[in-house]
Each structure stands twice: as structure tokens, then as C-alpha cells.
Structure 1
Amino acid sequence: MLLAGGKGSRLHELTAAECKPAVFFAGTRRIVDFALANALRSGLHRMIACTQYRPETLTRHLRGQWAPAFAAAGGGLALAHGPDLTGQAEGYIGTADAVTRNIAAIDARAPRHLVVMAADHVCQIDFRPMIEAHVASGAEMTVAAHVVPRSSGSEFGILSAGEDGRATEFVEKPADPPGMAGDPAYALASMGIYVFDWPWLRARLGADAADAGSGHDFGHDILPAAVRAGVVNVWRLTGQGAEMARPYWRDVGTLDSYRVAQLDFAGAARPCAMPDSVLPQGSGAQARPFGARMGGGAPGRWKA
């Protein structure tokens, strides 16, 4: 499941007429391209992409450029637009709700495990080791995590884990982030990427949907409860292949972080693989000014 409905309000004018995943990055690529390329490189060929805010450009890009790539790999890329699926202008009301609303479509694919990923991060990740670690752990849920300076930990959901990899604590964007055991200057941040045992998640989503007090969000509702129940495994991102000794992951949710990440890709040596090996250069949409309007769309409440 690709969560691609984010408004990205902290990017201000860049997302005034465009959803965050469709914002251009590193030339004519778009932010969403990194998640899609990671999925295909990892052998994840069946995907449902949940769209919501200002979906026009993103929808054209996914259908025109990426759907053929998924089909060629023997799978498929389906789009599930929140307002269309819910019948309400606001669409999905949380990230977990986006998956709940697609339970029938997921069941039709009869998965044993479900990977849920964000569409608005710039990173390189091979999901196969994460899935293997999830199965070996016996946990119901695995969350991908990355080490960040404790000084910037308040921007993320922060995890603590025991020596066995089981999550022992989770706090969402804490004012005073807890440091890592043995390395208190750093914190362990959730990347917003999950692997679930589908039968377990299906039952949890049903209970969450019936809870009037829930925000129906993975970070605020599903993950904290699962950590308290002791069923969450933590998988730390490591270097991905010989070409990338150090892991690279950036949440480009603010203008500052977007600018810094763009500078990371400005030189000849890129910090991680570009989507080009999956989607060749020149197959994407032509560049246009960031402020150019691409049409309207229901704003919705879901702000990833």
C-alpha cells in the first residue's frame, strides 16, 4: 500500500496546487518516484496507491509512467482515490483509514503480509531484508527505523527497542526525544514504513474503525497500541548495496529539509540510487514551474 494523499502544507507554495508526492525532485523526477522504484527493485509488484489531495498530476504520472512498469514486472498498480472511495469530499480521514477502506481490494489479492509505505520520502531501501526480518521475528508488525540526531528527533515518531529488536516505547514527535541506549546523542526515528501480518492488521483495522475516539492513523493510533501490546519489531535501515555504504533517508516535509535534500543530489555523486534504473530518464512528465496550476481537487483532512 502506497500512502500518496499527503497535502504537505509545510512545503507552502510548492503544494498549493500539487500533492506532496508529485512535487518535482532532482530534476524532472518526482518525490513519489523513489518509493515506487524501491518497491519494484524489491520485487513488490502488486501495489495499491491511495491518493487524495490535488491528485491530478500524480494520477497522470502513476498511470502513464509507473503502471506499465508494474505490469511489465508481472503485477499491477491500482489507484484508490479517497473521495471516490468514501463518497465524501474529505476522503480518507487518516493513514490507517486509507488501508481500512481498501480491505476488500487487499483481500482479493490474498496476501500473507502487507507492506505499507509513504510516498513522500527520498530514500533507497530494499524491502526484502525487512520482510525477512519481520517473518523471522515472529512479530505481528515491523516498523522501519533510521538513526537521527536527538536534536532533530522532535520532528519524528521516536522508538525505543530492546536487544531482541522488540519495540518497548513509541512517542510521536516528542518535545524531548529519548536518546538511544548507549548513544544518547541520537534517537531512533520511525520511517513510516511498515510490514504487517495481514490477518492481524485486518482485525486491528476493524477495531480501530469502530473506535469513535481514534484518529485512524498508523502513527497516532495503530503503532502505539501495538507497541504497548509487545508485538512490534524494529528494523533499522542499513546501507543498501555496494554502491551505498551509508543508508540515506530524508523526510522532505519542510522547505528547509527539501532544500537540503535537493543539494544532496546536486553533485555528480548521488547519495542513493535514482529511480532511473526502473523508470528511464526522459519517460517522466516535462518540468514546469512549481507554481503552475494543474487543476483543483478536494483538499481533504489527511495531512501526511
Structure 2
Amino acid sequence: MALTNAQYDEIMHEYEERRALHRQELEDRQRYVYETVEGYKELEDETASASVSFGKRLLSGERLDRSVLKRELEELARQKLILLTEAGFSSDYLDMGYTCQDCKDTGYIGNEKCHCFKQKIIETLYDKSNLRMLTKSANFRLLTDKYYHGEDLKRFHGAVKAAEEFINNFCSDYQNLFIYGTVGTGKSFLSVCIANELLKKGHSVIYFSSMGLFELLAENSFDYKNKGELRGIYEDLYNCELLIIDDLGTERTNSFVASELFSCLNERDNRKKATIITTNLSLEQLQKTYSDRIFSRITSNFRFLKLSGQDIRNIKKIARKESEDFQ
């Protein structure tokens, strides 16, 4: 599934804005250092004039030893660093900042798209999932066990430990997670927590509600004009490093859905690409709802994590209502 020219230009414009923002931040830090660290600006000017003077002499035909200039610049840099750190600033305070250190906010490493650019493409093409927004309200910093008790609490701690292992071993250990249990027990929340950590590590993640995924496939499967588009969608689904299918079982199940789900799971397994599925279905319901080969594929290739307990969304809703009534 390819970007339009307008979508590509929009992403590149975002990178330009990032670079402009970081340049402005650096200029503000430089200005502050010039104003507060005595002698720093003079050393900076001396560095610039030394380079300019050396260049002019080279252009005039003088035969000069470049190592002399190198040693002079290194000594000036050493003196600047001493002034900076003695004034209480970190040694990298005047380094350029980047949102992505790998591509320096250009979107490319050499001629190859950076991982951050690839993820921007995914987010642009599949913006219905709104994954970046979801990670702001669902991440490990906000994860809490206060809604679980007894056996439910044990299951929660086990699921969190498994999620952390999944993240830590993501690059070395091919693994899939099947997170199931009763409504409102934090299954989707945990899957987004995992997505957030992997996005921060630079991995590509596609997140779909089950209903949204099969609607997208159906929209493009039954119109011959969209064959090219459909091929692109399949490549994205099969090749992204992590695919999350949320709320499996909420879609309208039929032979098309069963066929597409099996193909997706099978292709991703062949390519050793990780998948996370969340569902409210029990294992018995899963087997009844989908074909035996799908059930077999899931039970043989996925690690099962069960969450149980009260409906957390309902608990929060009641708490908000009581708070509003009290006020």
C-alpha cells in the first residue's frame, strides 16, 4: 500500500518542522550559554576565525600542515568544554537534539528509509487505529494492579511479566501472544503498552481492531480496481514487525473472515513476524467461532495469557460518577 505524493510530502514536512524546532532549541541554548558563561563566546569566535584564516591561507597557495589546525581546534574545544561543565552544564548541552538519533530527523539512513519513517508510513496509511494517541493513555507508566485481587491479581502479574519478556526478547526470540479473558480486564491496555515500548525501540507496529482489519480487507477485496492497493495492504500486514489484532470475535464472522485470518496468521508465522491477539472469547468459544485450522494455528504458535476480574472500565465510570455527585 503506497503513499500518495501528498502523504509523502506531509511526512517530509513534519521532518522539516522537527529539524527547525531542534535548531531553534539549540540556538536558544547557545544564546543562554553566551550570556551566562564568561569567555565561552570568545572561544567560539576564536574557533571560527582560526578555521577561516587557515582556509584563506590554503586558497592563497600556502603549503600548510592540517594537523596544526586540528590540534588548535581540539585545544579550543577542550577549553570550551571546561568552561561549560564548570558552569554546571552537561557536556552535551550544546549538541544538536534529534527526535530520532538514527536518521537525525531526515527520515533516511543513506538511501534507506529509517525505521521512524516506516512507522510514519504505517500510521499514515492505517490512521484509523490511532495507535500513537492510544499509547498516551495506555503505557507501562500508567499500568496498575489495584483493580485485581486474589487469583485475578496472580494472572495480572503473570501477564505483565510475560509482556516484559516479550519486549526484552523481541529481537532474538520469535513469539506470539494471545491475551484473553472477560470484558474490561485490561487486555487491550496491555497490548498497547507492549506496542508503545516496541515503538520506542524503533520497531514497526500495526494495530487494528478486529472489525477494522476485516472491514479494510473486505473494502479492497471485492473491487477489482483496488488489486494493487490490496497487495500493498497484505505486504504491510505480513511484514510489519508486530501486528496487533484487538478484540477478535467482535467482527462479523464468515468464511471470508476465517480465510483472511488464517492467511494472515500463516504468512506471519512463515516469516517469523510477531502477532498479538486480544479477545473476550473463551478458548471453547474460539474453537466454535473459527475453523479448526485457525484454532490449531493459534494454540500451537501463541503464548496464552489470561486476564480476569471486574470490568475496570465500569469501575472507573462509577468512580467518576460518584466524584461528580460529591462535587
| Same fold, judged at TM 0.5 (above) | no
Report the structure number with the largest CA radius of gyration: 2
TM-score (norm 2): 0.24
Of structures 1 and 2, the one scoring higher in RCO (CA 8 A, sep 6+) is 1
1 or 2, which has the higher helix percentage?
2
1 or 2, which has the higher strand percentage?
1
